[in-house]
């Protein structure tokens, strides 16, 4: 059994038995680094596959910030997600700090609470999701910050640039 893998757990050594159940116990190490003792039947049938790290919570699983982080991950990594072609399909990804077991905690530390009426926005529309390129922005700001937005295309002339900035049409 030593060295065998069950999900995220790798068996380290024999840890005893439960006499009443006639069950062997094994000391395992999870991929996250934590150790736990697990009964063999639960390992074998897949009931135990980690130390519990996948179920540990930060207490915010129902928060809008968590939903934002979760949706961001889906857009970038899940080809079945409807928006994947606009994000992961274009090579947009998420920084390492916002991934992994502490990913959401780090995301929340960097971004803070979402202000009312705002959602996540990438400042550089072709850049990745990372602390220096993300902000909470209104729908109006986001509508100006799109790949097909005039604001992201070079102006034809200085006059056109001024017209775009002021909203006054360029004289012909």
Look at the block and give the residue holding tokens 């699983």: 61
Confidence tier at 82 by pLDDT (50, 70, 90): very high
pLDDT (average), residues 70-99: 94
What rounded mean pLDDT belongs to the chain? Answer: 84
pLDDT at 133: 95
**Residues of 62-72 as b/e, b for ≥16 C-beta within 10 angstroms?**
eeebbebbeeb
Highest-confidence range of 24-33, 54-63, 128-137, by mean pLDDT? 128-137
Predicted structure pTM score? 0.57
CA distance linking residue 39 with residue 23, whole number of Å: 6
């Amino acid at each position: 059994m030593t060295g065998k893998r069950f999900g995220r757990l790798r068996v380290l050594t024999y840890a005893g038995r439960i006499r009443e159940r006639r069950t062997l116990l094994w000391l395992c190490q999870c991929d996250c680094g934590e150790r736990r003792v697990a009964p063999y039947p639960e390992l074998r049938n897949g009931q135990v596959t980690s130390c519990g790290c996948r179920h540990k919570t930060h207490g915010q699983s129902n928060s809008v910030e968590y939903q934002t982080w979760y949706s961001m991950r889906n857009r970038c990594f899940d080809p079945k997600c409807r928006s994947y072609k606009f994000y992961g399909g274009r090579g947009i990804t998420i920084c390492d700090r916002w991934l992994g077991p502490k990913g959401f905690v780090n995301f929340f530390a960097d971004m803070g609470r979402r202000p009312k009426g705002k959602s996540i926005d990438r400042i550089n529309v072709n850049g990745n999701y990372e602390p220096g390129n993300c902000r909470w922005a209104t729908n109006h700001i986001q509508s100006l910050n799109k790949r097909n937005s005039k604001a992201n295309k070079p102006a034809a002339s200085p006059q056109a640039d001024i017209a775009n900035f002021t909203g006054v049409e360029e004289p012909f």
